[in-house]
Structure 1
Amino acid sequence: MAREELDKLTEGYIHDQESVYHTWFINNEDRLKAFRTIKKGLKKVISEIEARTFGNDFKGSSLETVVTAISEQKQIFAGAAHPFFWKPKLRIPDIYENSENQMAFGRFLNACLHATNAKQIFDEIVKLDQLKIKGLGPAVATIIYFLHPTLFPPFNTAIVRGFNTLFHKKLKLGSWMAYLEMREDILATNQQSSLSKDLGAFAGLLFEIGSGRLILPENSDEVLAAENEKRLKAVKKRHSQVLDDQIEENAHSEMQYHLARLGRALGYHVWIAQNDHKREYNGKKLGEYSLSALPLTNLSKSVFDTVSLIDVLWLSQNDQIVSGFEVEKSTSIYSGILRLYDLSLSVEQTCRLFLVAPNKREKEIKAQLMRPSFIKEQSLKSAMSYLLFSDLQCDCDAMCKFGTDIRILDPIARSV
């Protein structure tokens, strides 16, 4: 593709406010949080496979947690979990009943997790491909992307369709060798573009072409003749999703606002997640209700970076963490629990932990907190409760007026 054509294409992609470049790739802290969640989840998958406790189904497995964190990443990965579903009639993917294949899959994930360069991952892909594990194709590459986003692109039907349209090729969806060929073209072309080194940006461009939102001369006849109605539905659906995202972001900010207001009324110092300081609610930036800097100098950098992204923290006058709150409007409840668990392990003193979620997600919260891995953690079980949006919205003013400390939350705090 000529440089001029590429620049024109990427410019249109970047300036489309409803493209996945804006709705997923940039200005999306949930995407960045997903990298940490997926990496941590993969470590659990690997350890369970090595201990031979992984199980024989996708549902309820640690792998489901990882892939769910991927599929929650807006439109581009909506179907990421499908290739990993256990399909008993087809006996695929053959990693749930065949222990040797399962162990090979675990070794592959472990090697990719600890790889330091592209060649190491390339070699592991070739070895995995040679095993011919039934049903285990390059959908796994999307997991690799979240481990090494500048080295390997994600992979799904729409991305491949967009790639074939843009590069005039006919690569197959289920072939690892086709994926590696696609990767080479993506890397070479991305170096000429104005997009990020993170290959998710270019993959998003291919996704837009493959889903019919970006029309090129190469696919215009097909789109106009057979896909025009579908494209219009996709545009309408995307517009609706963007509006829903805005509503969700506003609800998330509202909960942070109520928690910040309540914390300050109770005499605590309040910290709002670093990446949310510029978000607004009621015409004011959330950073105005927060400490300008998090005064936890005794933490290591990695731990500090994790703690600073907790949605809301209440601290005592001597800067000890009293409680942490994770607001989960639509993102993974499991991810929120993990972040609060990390917080509990990071501080020496006892602090209370709260998930804050809409009423409709109460059953999901209960199910997640009853996972065997959490039930075994008695300290976490006793420290963690959850608050419902409706209770916080209705009772915040009264709690601000009559409360003296964190115990004012006891009447509305719920536990399993």
Structure 2
Amino acid sequence: MHDALLPIAQAYKADPESVYSTWFISSEDRIKAFRSIRRGVAAVVDDIKHHRFPNDFKGSSLEFVLACISEQKQVFEGAAHPFYWKPKLRIPDIYEHDLNKQAFGEFLYACLGTTDVRALEREVLKLAGKRIKGLGPAVANILYFLHPTHFPPFNTAMLNGFNALFRTKKRLGSWDSYLEMRETIIVANAALGMLSRDLGAFSGMLFEIGVGRLGTTDDDSSALTIEREKIEQVRRKRHAQVEQDMAEERLHTKVQYQLIELGRALGYDVLVARNDRSALYRGRALGYRCLECLPDLGLPPEVHATAELIDVLWLYPGEPRIASAFEVEKSTSIYSGILRLADMALSIPGRHEHLYLVAPAAREKEIVVQLKRPMFQRHEDFSLSYILFEDLDQHFESLCKLGEDRRILERLACRCVA
């Protein structure tokens, strides 16, 4: 097995435009997503437990979770589709059937509460045994973000890649197929020994095979024979996506730089996200002249770690107190960005009104929709506003020259009221 997989895995890791290079090892959003999704799953459990979970996917806390997952580049594109409520088919049957809904909530609750692999396997088998109509192994995409070393993600491209690589005929909607795939993936990944224990790395390789970017053999009788032109089309599309990602990253860095410089001009200490400190703008690292670490704010350790990933924080000079917090959103992460700000705010006593999403004007409608969600509107301890990239860029120099403190942002910021 090792000898057969080795050249494929080597090609996968060596490709600078592969899922491995562009998502698994270099995507900040992937790292940030784990806690956001865990918190979102806890909200689903709470809504089901207290009978707040609606009879539709739209507007539910589950939609929030799947949106966070779907943001993870093309590898999770379509992850939400199996959970859409399909009235004519009455599936998935977790919206109208209360016992099924409660069973789903109990499953998620149990998976949140343990890291023991045997206990998790029992919960998966228990859920599969209930045969809830329309609730198949797409749930594995949630499981992956809760327990990435125990459960691989699952979608059509990964299944196609698995069938091509291992010469099998596993079915898309089958729990049995998924569980057999999982066992094979774990064994193969261990035998290969060159990819991460996080099964997202191996699943990314299956995805690449499934969409035709990575071949399994030179033999034309391969179970997945894809014409050279089709492979080239896929590669060109991926290259365009990579170039777009790089352009967005440059814009993200520019906006962070402007927020850092504005905070310093207004007299605040500034902290940039831990994983962005070495990013360069105009030849200088963003973390230069910023705080080296987040001071002790009395946060629980896991929330402190999340707060260190917030794009930009302004703090009162010499005080362990946050003046303003900013999450910069480009093409993804609206949901997880809101969650990070909310997570921090709800962990600090008092009311917080200086939390901002900073995003392009093209995403304004989407931001408004998300900020009006009941799960954010029902909290009185914090409120979020948003600032548009274009407005910040236009007025940046004036804000630095004329502003006295954070209140200058009130001239730019917009607030949503349900």
Q: Which bin holds the TM-score, normalised by the shorter protein?
A: over 0.9
List aligned pairs for 1:70-149, cutoff 5 A: 70-149=69-148
* Corresponding position of 1:366: 368
> Is the 8 Å Cα contact of residues 326 and 355 (structure 2) preserved in structure 1?
yes
* Corresponding position of 2:233: 233
User: 1:286 and 1:83 mapped to 2: Cα distance?
Assistant: 41
- Say which of 371, 376, 382 aligns to 1:380: 382
User: 1:223 and 1:234 mapped to 2: Cα distance?
Assistant: 19
Bigger shift: residues 269-278 or 296-305: 296-305
Quote the offset at 1:189 in angstroms. Answer: 0.9
The secondary structure found in structure 2 opposite 1:60 is: coil
List aligned pairs for 1:247-286, cutoff 5 A: 247-286=247-286
User: 1:119 and 1:183 mapped to 2: Cα distance?
Assistant: 14
* Corresponding position of 2:246: 246
List aligned pairs for 1:144-163, cutoff 5 A: 144-163=143-162
1:167/1:240 CA distance change after superposition, 3 Å: same
Structure 1 alignment gaps of length 5 or more: none
For the pair 1:322 / 2:330, whether they are aligned, the reply is no
User: 1:50 and 1:88 mapped to 2: Cα distance?
Assistant: 24
Quote the offset at 1:346 in angstroms. Answer: 3.2
* Corresponding position of 2:51: 52
Cα displacement string for residues 264-320 of structure 1 (whole angstroms, at most 9, x for unaligned residues): 111111100011011111222111142122223644422221111111011111222
For the pair 1:302 / 2:298, whether they are aligned, the reply is no
Q: Bigger relative contact order, structure 1 or 2, given CA contacts below 8 A and separation 6+?
A: 2
1:400/1:250 CA distance change after superposition, 3 Å: same
One-letter identity of the residue aligned with 2:269: H
Please, what TM-score do these two structures have when normalized by structure 2? Answer: 0.94
Quote the offset at 1:224 in angstroms. Answer: 9.0
> Is the 8 Å Cα contact of residues 162 and 208 (structure 1) preserved in structure 2?
yes
User: 2:225 and 2:182 mapped to 1: Cα distance?
Assistant: 30
Quote the offset at 1:326 in angstroms. Answer: 0.7
> Is the 8 Å Cα contact of residues 161 and 210 (structure 1) preserved in structure 2?
yes
The secondary structure found in structure 1 opposite 2:91 is: coil
* Corresponding position of 2:337: 336
User: 1:32 and 1:412 mapped to 2: Cα distance?
Assistant: 30
The secondary structure found in structure 1 opposite 2:287 is: helix
1:163/1:219 CA distance change after superposition, 3 Å: farther
Runs of 4+ in 1 over 3 A off after TM superposition: 218-230, 297-300, 346-351
User: 2:220 and 2:17 mapped to 1: Cα distance?
Assistant: 20
1:122/1:271 CA distance change after superposition, 3 Å: same
User: 1:219 and 1:268 mapped to 2: Cα distance?
Assistant: 63
Cα displacement string for residues 57-100 of structure 1 (whole angstroms, at most 9, x for unaligned residues): 11111111111111110111101111111112222111111111
* Corresponding position of 1:403: 403
> Is the 8 Å Cα contact of residues 29 and 333 (structure 2) preserved in structure 1?
no
Structure 2 alignment gaps of length 5 or more: none
> Is the 8 Å Cα contact of residues 261 and 289 (structure 1) preserved in structure 2?
no
* Corresponding position of 2:346: 345
One-letter identity of the residue aligned with 1:156: N
List aligned pairs for 1:217-228, cutoff 5 A: 217=217, 220=220, 227-228=227-228
One-letter identity of the residue aligned with 1:133: I
Please, what TM-score do these two structures have when normalized by structure 1? Answer: 0.95
> Is the 8 Å Cα contact of residues 164 and 222 (structure 2) preserved in structure 1?
no
* Corresponding position of 1:169: 168
1:151/1:386 CA distance change after superposition, 3 Å: same
1:349/1:65 CA distance change after superposition, 3 Å: closer
